Amino acid sequence: MSGKAIGISMNFGFPGTYSRNPDSIITYRQLKEDAEAVPFGMALRANDDNTYSPVGADFTADKFGGVALRTVKQAVSYSEQTETAYQPMDMVSALNRGAVVVSCNHGNPTAGGKVYVRIKKNDAVVGGVVGGFEAEADGENTVLLPNVQWTNGYVDANGVAEITILTRLNV
């Protein structure tokens, strides 16, 4: 009798999980008091007052503060126990250099390829999430992160891939 296996490959993990940690640099800053919640694995904006904010329409690449890392946190809703995020005034763990698992919301990543972050909603891009990472530009709706690249170009069945932040900015 031949052996059996379920699936073709393993999932890569959950967005916001750091990988290849010997080169990881993580910093902690508070999420602004008036900010929206930031889910794990999303891009962060570094502010001049030593806080983080979610990415928005006025985001530029020079304000990239890193990726919100997955930490041990309580669920934010009783009815949805899998929804976890940093809330306003929480101390945020952010990866500033190293590799991290994120959702690739649009496009097909390639090893060493360009990484974009969505700053504006576009109804034509179904999977596009403001603050999320993409492998394809969408005009003024996305910003290229010049210090970030797709690590290997592989994407699992859940749309999860790995990016590498090559240099530290705004820390």
How confident is residue 12, by pLDDT bands cut at 50, 70 and 90? confident
Range 18-165 classified under CATH 2.40.30: no
Per-residue pLDDT at 22:
75
Per-residue pLDDT at 143:
98
Radius of gyration of the chain from its Cα atoms, rounded to whole angstroms: 16
Q: How far is CA 1 from CA 4, 6, 42, 145, in A?
A: 9, 16, 46, 51
pLDDT tens digit sequence for 81-131: 566 789 999 999 999 999 999 999 999 999 999 999 999 999 999 999 999
The closest alpha carbon to 26, from 92, 101, 102, belongs to 92
Does residue 29 register a pLDDT over 90? yes
pLDDT tens digit sequence for 43-88: 999 999 999 999 999 999 999 999 999 876 555 555 565 667 899 9
Alpha carbon of residue 95 to chain centroid: 9
Per-residue pLDDT at 107:
95
Per-residue pLDDT at 4:
47
Alpha carbon of residue 127 to chain centroid: 14
Does residue 159 register a pLDDT over 80? yes
Q: Say how far apart CA 52 and CA 73 lie, in whole Å.
A: 18
Residue 91 vs residue 6, higher pLDDT:
91
Does residue 156 register a pLDDT over 60? yes
Residue 165: enclosing H or E segment and its boundaries?
strand 160-165
Residue with tokens 């504006």: 120
Mean pLDDT of 28-57: 95
* 3-state percent breakdown (helix, strand, coil) of the chain, nearest 5: 5, 35, 60
Instruction: State the pTM of this model.
Output: 0.87
Per-residue pLDDT at 1:
43
